[in-house]
Structure 1
Amino acid sequence: MDLGSHPTFESHDDGTVLTSAPQDAPVDRATAAARRVVDAMLRTDRANANLDRVAEELNSIADHLEEHAPAVAERLIDMWNGEGVTRHDPVTGPENAIAPPIVLEGLSDGSVRGEVTLTMPYQGPPGCVHGGVSALILDHVLGVANAWGGQAGMTAQLNVRYHRPTPLFEPLTVTGRQMSVEGRKINTVGSITTADGEVCVSVEGLFIDAAVPRPR
Structure 2
Amino acid sequence: MSSVREPVVLTAEPRGEGLDVAVAAARRVVEALLLAGDGTALDMSDVAARLEAVAERLERHAPTLQQRMVDMWAGDGVTRHDPVVGSENALAPPLRFLGRDDGSVESRTTLGLPYQGPPGVIHGGISALLLDHALDFANQWAGVSGMTGTLTVRYHRPAPLFVELVITARQETVEGRKIRTTGELHADGELCVTAEAIFIDKHLPRPR
Q: CA deviation digits over 1:20-63, x for unaligned, max 9?
A: 12120211110000000000000005231221111011000000
Find the counterpart in structure 1 of residue 206 from structure 2: none
1:51 is aligned to 2:44: yes
- Gaps of at least 5 residues in structure 1 are 1-12, 212-216
Candidates 156, 162, 168, aligned match of 2:155:
162
Alignment-mate amino acid for residue 199 of structure 1: L
How many percent of aligned residue pairs carry the same amino acid?
Answer: 53
Structure 1 counterpart SS, 2:80: coil
Looking at structure 2, the residues matched to 118 and 159 of structure 1 have their Cα atoms a distance apart, in angstroms, of 22
1:205 is aligned to 2:160: no
Alignment-mate amino acid for residue 143 of structure 1: D
1:14 to partner: Cα distance: 3.9
Does the 8 Å CA contact 1:18/1:85 hold for their aligned counterparts?
no
Looking at structure 2, the residues matched to 140 and 63 of structure 1 have their Cα atoms a distance apart, in angstroms, of 32
Looking at structure 2, the residues matched to 26 and 49 of structure 1 have their Cα atoms a distance apart, in angstroms, of 29
Query: What are the residue-to-residue correspondences of 1:120-135 with 2, within 5 Å?
Result: 120-135=113-128
Looking at structure 1, the residues matched to 77 and 104 of structure 2 have their Cα atoms a distance apart, in angstroms, of 20
Query: What are the residue-to-residue correspondences of 1:59-208 with 2, within 5 Å?
Result: 59-83=52-76, 86-195=79-188, 197-208=189-200
Structure 2 counterpart SS, 1:186: strand
Looking at structure 2, the residues matched to 33 and 198 of structure 1 have their Cα atoms a distance apart, in angstroms, of 32
Does the 8 Å CA contact 1:177/1:189 hold for their aligned counterparts?
yes
Does the 8 Å CA contact 1:19/1:85 hold for their aligned counterparts?
no
Does the 8 Å CA contact 2:178/2:201 hold for their aligned counterparts?
yes
Find the counterpart in structure 2 of residue 35 from structure 1: 27
Structure 2 counterpart SS, 1:28: helix
- Gaps of at least 5 residues in structure 2 are 204-208
Alignment-mate amino acid for residue 96 of structure 1: N
Determine which structure has more spread, i.e. the larger CA radius of gyration. Answer: 2
Structure 1 counterpart SS, 2:153: strand
Q: CA deviation digits over 1:144-170, x for unaligned, max 9?
A: 110000011001110000000000000
1:205 to partner: Cα distance: 0.7
Paired residues, number:
198
Structure 2 counterpart SS, 1:19: coil
Looking at structure 1, the residues matched to 98 and 159 of structure 2 have their Cα atoms a distance apart, in angstroms, of 22
Does the 8 Å CA contact 2:71/2:77 hold for their aligned counterparts?
no
Change (3 A) 1:141 1:35: same
Looking at structure 2, the residues matched to 45 and 84 of structure 1 have their Cα atoms a distance apart, in angstroms, of 34
1:16 is aligned to 2:8: yes
Structure 1 counterpart SS, 2:174: strand
1:84 to partner: Cα distance: 6.6
Find the counterpart in structure 2 of residue 25 from structure 1: 17
Does the 8 Å CA contact 2:85/2:92 hold for their aligned counterparts?
yes
Alignment-mate amino acid for residue 171 of structure 2: Q
Looking at structure 2, the residues matched to 38 and 84 of structure 1 have their Cα atoms a distance apart, in angstroms, of 23
Structure 1 counterpart SS, 2:141: helix
Does the 8 Å CA contact 2:12/2:76 hold for their aligned counterparts?
no
